Structures are given as structure tokens and as C-alpha cells.
Amino acid sequence: MTEKKPGAGLRGQSAGQTEICTVGASGNSLRYRGYAVDELAEKASFNEVAHLILKGHLPNQDELDAYTSRLKALRGLPDALKEVLERIPANAHPMDVLRTGCSFLGNLETEESFDDQQDMADRLLATFPSMITYWYRYSHDGKRIDVETDDDSIGGHFLHLLHGKAPSELHARVMDVSLILYAEHEFNASTFTARVCASTLSDMHSCVTGAIGSLRGPLHGGANEMAMAMLEKYHSPEQAREDVLRKLEEKEKIMGFGHAVYREKDPRNAIIREWSRKLAEDVGDDTLFPVSEIVEKTMWDEKKLFANADFYHASAYHFMGIPTSLFTPIFVMSRVTGWCAHIMEQRANNRIIRPGADYIGPEDRSVPSIDQRQ
Ligand SMILES: CC(=O)SCCNC(=O)CCNC(=O)[C@H](O)C(C)(C)COP(=O)(O)OP(=O)(O)OC[C@H]1O[C@@H](n2cnc3c(N)ncnc32)[C@H](O)[C@@H]1OP(=O)(O)O
Ligand SMILES: O=C([O-])CC(=O)C(=O)O
């Protein structure tokens, strides 16, 4: 481990209060507004969880029906946004596409007043799957797709647009669970980015655009893509184990492992691993899932490092035929709920976020003339 200067990463320091989520409050727990993520992933849909996070409570049946209809009605993209998406090249990173899409939508549907914040959040939640698949299908298949499907779930809608046909029940459920697992995680880097931006009283699209930029990095949301890039190189568990040992010997980071807050396990891992196992059976996989398992075991045996939420998302998404470059955009489609809830919470009790710093640079000195400088 490289020695970090004291205070690096603000690790372990509280940076404010929240009612939305607790991470690791009791051991390795994760709760959204008091509900354990395991229970939500078993008993709820992502639309219910989005309602919980954004509106503050689990919806009753009437509220859920109304919310589902509302989100479905908000899926369309303005023509000007479609034109912009069509100009983004096929080799662009899909996270850059969403960053641009979010920012451009902010020009067309600007948040004029914070009274509109719930509408802004719903619109972003409804349009991210449309934006990413519209661009992907146009740039890769030359097709201008109709982004308004009749699927109730956001995950099912995304798979429908991506593959041009309604997903199986299994795939729609896995996507729904995946979106539940990724929805919210307290003061993680992207959410904190959104809150810092919100604290200047900026608009919702600016806050979310910044958050997308933070999520893109391989130490955060980008890890699911990096994990897949590693896993797909292995043809057998033996080869995977040997290569991971070599990487550890060479002090390489293994993406999809470790966490800034959890110390023993990430509670989301067991859930997505189980769904990945089901998908592996469904497609008759005998390589990727066993390879993932041996990497997980080797990391634990050698380093006591556990798989985080990102690791088995790689194989799960792959089994559903999702291109690797779209993995992190799916995270955006989900985490936008958490981001927007935090932006609203920040606004409700706002003071500009402006921490201090411990200065460790040179003592005071005077400016030498240019011929005296080295
Ligand atoms: C949904 C999410 O965003 S979950 C996070 C997704 N990110 C990843 O999977 C990227 C890989 N993991 C990591 O880089 C880190 O574990 C992070 C960024 C998640 C957490 O970082 P930190 O809080 O600094 O980690 P922590 O203090 O526990 O790690 C200490 C040391 O453990 C080791 N370590 C931690 N994670 C790993 C890993 N994945 N592979 C190898 N060694 C690791 C390193 O030696 C690290 O020291 P270094 O930063 O000097 O290299
Ligand atoms: O909390 C974190 O640092 C990263 C994480 O797991 C998430 O954002 O889901």
C-alpha cells in the first residue's frame, strides 16, 4: 500500500446529515430510508424504490400505478436532443453520451424554479434509458428507434430498446434488482459531487451532469466495465487464478473489489451474484461464472478483499447480452434517483459546501525577478 497523506479522501469523516440512506451503520448493512436493501430487492420493484427514494415513502398500489404511468409518459426525447445524440460518434464513451445528453436536456427543459425539482428528477429518470439506447442504436445499427415502449419497468424498457424486443421475465427481473441495488449509497463520490454543486444553488441538470462525470471513473461506477474487461480474458478458472495472483504480486488493482466504507463485505454482492448464477444456468455458461467465482475466492484468500456491487454485475449484464460499454450508464439510470434525492435534501437545508484545507506548501516568500528563477 502506498502511504497516503493524513486526511486523504476525507475517509471516515462525516460531511453532513442525511435521511435517505445508511451505509454500514450496523456492520455491512445498507438501508434506504430504513428498509434493508436485501428486503427491497426481494419484495419491491425499482419503480417502488425510486418512489421511496425520491418521494420519501414506499407507494401504495394507487401511487405506484400513477408513478409507473407517469414515468412511462416521460420517456420521449425532444427532436433537438435526438439530433445532438446522432452527432456523437459510435466510438464515444457512453458515459460521455449521457453527460452530454443530461447537459443538453438542461438547455431545452431548464429548471427555472426549485418548485419543479420533483418533475426534473422524474424526467431524468425516465429519459436516461431512452437517451443511451437512442444514441447506441443510431450510432451502431444506423436505426432511429422509437423510444416509447409500453414496458412498465425501466430495466425492461432499456433491454427492449437495446435488443429491439421485449425481454424475458428473468432478464426484466434481474435488471429491476440491479437498478434497486445501485439506486442509492449515501455520500459516495458521485452523490457528493451532486451535493457540492447543489450547495451553490445550481440547477438539477448541472448537479447530475457533474455526478455522471464522477461516476465514470474506474474507482467508482466504471469498475463494472473494468471487471468485465479482465474477466473476459480468462478461458478457465486456473488461468484466472494465476493471473490474479500475478496482478496482486505486481500491486495491480483488481476492479470490482474493496470498498471505502464496508470492511468485510458489500451486502449487494451476494444478491447480484445469485442472479448472475441463475443467468449463467439460463445461458448454459461454464466459463464466465466459474472464472468470476475463482477470482472472488482468490481475492479473499490472498488479500481479504471482497467483491463489491460492481463485480458480479459484470457477468450478469454480459449474460443478458448488454455490451460492456453500457454497464456504467445502467448505473446512471439507477443512481439518478439517489442523486436527485440528495440534491433536494441539500437544498432543503442548504449552506454552501466549502471545507477548509491544511496547508502543507512552502513558507511565505517573495516573488524573485525572472532572471533569478531556476
Ligand atoms: C459501486 C462502487 O463504486 S464500489 C467501488 C468500485 N471500485 C472498484 O472496484 C475499484 C477497485 N477498488 C478500489 O480501488 C478501492 O478499494 C476503493 C476505491 C473502492 C476504496 O478505496 P480506499 O477507501 O482507499 O480503500 P482501502 O483504504 O480499503 O484500501 C487500502 C489498500 O487496499 C488495497 N486495495 C483496495 N482495493 C483493492 C483492489 N481492488 N485491488 C487490489 N488492492 C486493493 C490497496 O493496497 C489499497 O491501497 P492503495 O489505494 O494505496 O492502492
Ligand atoms: O459508496 C461508495 O463509495 C461507492 C459505492 O459503493 C456506491 O456508490 O454504490
* Pair (116, 256) in one structural domain: no
How many whole angstroms from 310 Cα to the centroid of ligand 2? 10
User: Angle at the Cα of 254 (from 251 to 257), degrees rounded to 5?
Assistant: 125
Place of cell 419543479: 116
Are 88 and 189 within one domain? Answer: yes
CA of 306 to the centre of ligand 1 (A): 10
The answer to the question of residue 59 being in a domain is yes
Residue nearest to atom 1 of ligand 2 (CA): 188
Atom number in ligand 1 closest to CA 263: 28
**Confidence category of residue 5, pLDDT binned at 50, 70, 90:** confident
| 61 is a domain residue | yes
Residues 6+ apart with CB under 8 A from 68: 47, 152
Within a domain: 13: no
Question: From edge to edge, which strands make up the β-sheet containing 35-36?
Answer: 21-23, 30-32, 35-36
**What is the whole-number distance in angstroms between the Cα of residue 201 and the centre of ligand 2?**
24
| Residue 88 placed within a domain | yes
257 and 335 share one domain: no
3-state secondary structure string across 166-212: CCCHHHHHHHHHHHHHHCCCCCCHHHHHHHHHHCCCCCHHHHHHHHH
Domain housing 275: 223-320
ipTM of model: 0.97
Are residue 340 and residue 297 in the same domain, yes or no?
no
- Is the C-beta atom of 185 inside 6 A of ligand 2? yes
CATH assignment of the domain containing 269: 1.10.230.10
The answer to whether residues 313 and 340 belong to one domain is no
CA of 32 to the centre of ligand 1 (A): 24
Q: Is the CB of 256 under 6 A from ligand 1?
A: yes
* Residue 111, in any domain of the structure: yes
Beta bridge partners of 32: 21, 35
> Ligand 1 pocket, 310 CB below 6 A?
yes
pLDDT beyond 80 at 131: yes
- Atom 17, ligand 1: residue with shortest CA distance: 259
Residue nearest to atom 7 of ligand 2 (CA): 185
**Domains identified in the chain, total number:** 2
Confidence of residue 6 (pLDDT cuts 50, 70, 90): confident
Residues 170 and 58 in one domain: yes
The three three-digit cell numbers of residue 354, written as one number: 466549502
- pLDDT (0 to 100) of residue 98: 98
Query: Among all residues, which ones are annotated catalytic?
Result: 259, 310
325-343 pLDDT, tens per residue? 999 999 999 999 999 999 9
**One domain for residues 67 and 194:** yes
Same domain for 37 and 81? yes
Q: Pick from 185, 215, 257 the residue to mutate for probing ligand 1's pocket: most ligand atoms within 8 Å of its CB.
A: 257
Whether 190 is covered by a domain: the verdict is yes
Per-residue pLDDT of 286-330, as tens digits, reads 999 999 999 999 999 999 999 999 999 999 999 999 999 999 999
Calculate how far, in angstroms, residue 365's C-alpha sits from the geometric centre of ligand 2: 42
From the CA of 24, the nearest ligand is 2
Examine residue 283 and state whether it is found in any structural domain, yes or no. Answer: yes
pLDDT for residue 2 is more than 90? no
Place of cell 458521485: 190
Ligand nearest to the CA of 313: 1
Q: What is the CATH number of the domain that holds 123?
A: 1.10.580.10
Rg (CA), the chain: 22
Task: Let me know whether 248 and 262 are in one domain.
Answer: yes
Is 213 in the same domain as 239?
no
Q: Is there a domain that residue 362 lies in?
A: no
Q: Which atom of ligand 1 is nearest to the CA of 4?
A: 50
Kindly state whether residues 140 and 35 are assigned to the same domain: yes
Q: Are residues 178 and 291 both part of a single domain?
A: no
Closest-CA residue, ligand 1 atom 48, reads 1
Query: Which atom belonging to ligand 2 lies closest to the Cα atom of 182?
Result: 9
pTM: 0.97
| Backbone torsions φ then ψ of 289, nearest 5 degrees | -70, -50
Segment 79-109, tens digit of pLDDT:
999 999 999 999 999 999 999 999 999 999 9
What pLDDT score was predicted for residue 297? 98
